[in-house]
């Protein structure tokens, strides 16, 4: 049975709504999955919890999850939380505050873009879409690319980094604080896509030994680095890192998770192949 514990919906920065994602996952033969939207659990409340009924109808085991921005040794790293209680007060308060800050940052970003590229460059209703709980930079860049303001997402991203800055700070707990929130919500935590930190020069393999003491019991082992980021990872890079991660994780007794980090239907097709007709 295929499992995929790292998937995104339109509640954060994915394209598919939660029900459509569950249906797509089932069509690809995924039998156990977790939706892990950034700083949100909204996919599980979408349509009054429709995803749970969808999963039952399609024979998919659904684990409640989320992805949190955290800080480890001064570096932003992402932490996946699983089996969390949707009614957790502490985790819920953090998610509410992170979403509030992201909305405020996005509003100011829209104003900055309009001031520099013209008021017709982007509209708030293109960014503040109903059902979207977590506002991210991509929600501004993609409409600008679609309208021809930038030739590519990468060009738009570079322009934003140089020209669009505001003082709004989105809260990022330390890795230990985030893991404690997940544990208080009845869940457990896995370090997301550690290969990217390795590529950035962060000694993630050496830091694995510290994870249990920080409250993190798992690490995302299977991840499509080469398919997702061919400019960063060769097949040899991915194999080298995964072999090292497995050996170190097994020695430390860590759990392993598997995730595609899919944001759109094409991401699933790239990894799992076309769905049956």
Band of the pLDDT at 277, cuts 50, 70, 90?
Answer: low
Number of structural domains, the chain?
2
DSSP assignment letter at 262: B
Domain end, chosen from 117, 144, 163, is at 163
Cβ neighbours of residue 235 closer than 8 Å, sequence gap 6 or more:
226
**Whether residues 77 and 192 fall in one domain:** yes
Is 72 in the same domain as 111?
A: no
Question: Domain for residue 53, yes or no?
Answer: yes
48, part of any domain:
yes
DSSP secondary structure letter of residue 219: E
The arithmetic mean of pLDDT across residues 6-30, rounded, is: 97
pLDDT at 1: 81
Q: Is residue 200 part of a domain?
A: yes
Please tell me the distance from the alpha carbon of residue 173 to that of residue 195, in angstroms, as a whole number. Answer: 21
83 and 200 together in one domain: yes
Does 276 score more than 80 pLDDT? Answer: no
**Is 116 inside a domain boundary?**
yes
Q: Round to whole Å and give the CA distance between 53 and 276.
A: 22
Average of per-residue pLDDT values in the chain: 97
The CATH number given to whatever domain includes residue 262 is 3.20.20.140
- Which two three-digit tokens encode residue 16? 């598919």
Which alpha helices (H) appear in 50-200, and where do they start and end?
50-58, 89-117, 124-127, 138-146, 153-163, 175-184, 194-199
Considering the domain boundaries, does residue 277 fall inside one?
A: no
> DSSP letter string over 4-29?
EEEE--TTTT-SS-HHHHHHHHHHTT
pLDDT digits 0-9 by tens, 204-218 = 999 999 999 999 999
User: 209 lies in which domain range?
Assistant: 2-93+171-272
* Residue whose token pair is 């600008």: 144
Residue 162 confidence (pLDDT): 96
- CA–CA distance, 173 with 153 (Å, rounded to integer): 28
Mean pLDDT (whole number) for 184-190 = 98
Condensed to tens digits (0 to 9), the pLDDT of residues 59-93 reads 999 999 999 999 999 999 999 999 999 999 999 99
Please tell me what DSSP assigns to residue 256: E
130 lies in some domain: yes
- Specify the pLDDT at position 275: 83
Judge whether residue 251 has pLDDT over 70: yes
pLDDT digits (tens, 9 = 90+) for 41-50: 999 999 999 9
Residue 60 confidence (pLDDT)? 98
- Taking residues 106-122, report their average pLDDT: 96
* Predicted TM-score of the model (pTM): 0.96
- pLDDT digit string, tens, across residues 217-245: 999 999 999 999 999 999 999 999 999 99
Q: How far apart are CA 257 and CA 187, in angstroms?
A: 14
- Select from 141, 163, 185 the last residue of a domain: 163
pLDDT at residue 142, as a whole number: 96
Q: What is the mean pLDDT of residues 17-40?
A: 98
Query: 145 lies in a domain?
Result: yes
Q: Which residue among 115, 141, 163 closes a domain?
A: 163
């Amino acid at each position: 049975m295929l499992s995929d514990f790292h998937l995104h919906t339109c509640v954060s920065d994915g394209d598919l709504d939660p029900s459509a994602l569950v249906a797509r996952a089932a069509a690809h033969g995924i039998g156990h999955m977790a939706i892990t939207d950034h700083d949100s659990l909204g996919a599980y409340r979408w349509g009054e919890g429709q995803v749970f009924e969808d999963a039952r109808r399609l024979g998919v085991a659904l684990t409640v999850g989320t992805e949190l921005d955290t800080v480890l040794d001064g570096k932003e790293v992402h932490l996946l939380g699983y089996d969390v209680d949707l009614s957790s007060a502490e985790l819920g308060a953090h998610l509410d505050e992170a979403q509030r800050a992201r909305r405020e940052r996005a509003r100011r970003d829209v104003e900055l873009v309009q001031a520099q590229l013209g008021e017709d460059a982007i509209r708030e209703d293109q960014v503040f879409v109903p059902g979207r709980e977590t506002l991210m930079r991509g929600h501004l860049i993609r409409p600008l690319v679609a309208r021809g303001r930038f030739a590519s997402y990468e060009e738009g991203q570079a322009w934003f980094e140089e020209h669009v800055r505001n003082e709004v700070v989105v809260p990022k707990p330390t890795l230990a604080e985030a893991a404690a929130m997940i544990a208080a919500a009845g869940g457990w935590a896995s370090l997301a896509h550690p290969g990217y930190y390795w590529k950035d020069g962060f000694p993630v393999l050496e830091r694995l030994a510290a994870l249990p003491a920080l409250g993190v019991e798992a690490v995302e082992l299977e991840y499509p680095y080469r398919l997702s980021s061919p400019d960063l990872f060769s097949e040899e890079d991915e194999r080298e890192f995964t072999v090292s991660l497995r050996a170190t994780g097994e020695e430390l007794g860590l759990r392993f998770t598997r995730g595609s980090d899919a944001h759109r239907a094409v991401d699933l097709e790239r990894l799992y192949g076309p769905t049956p007709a």
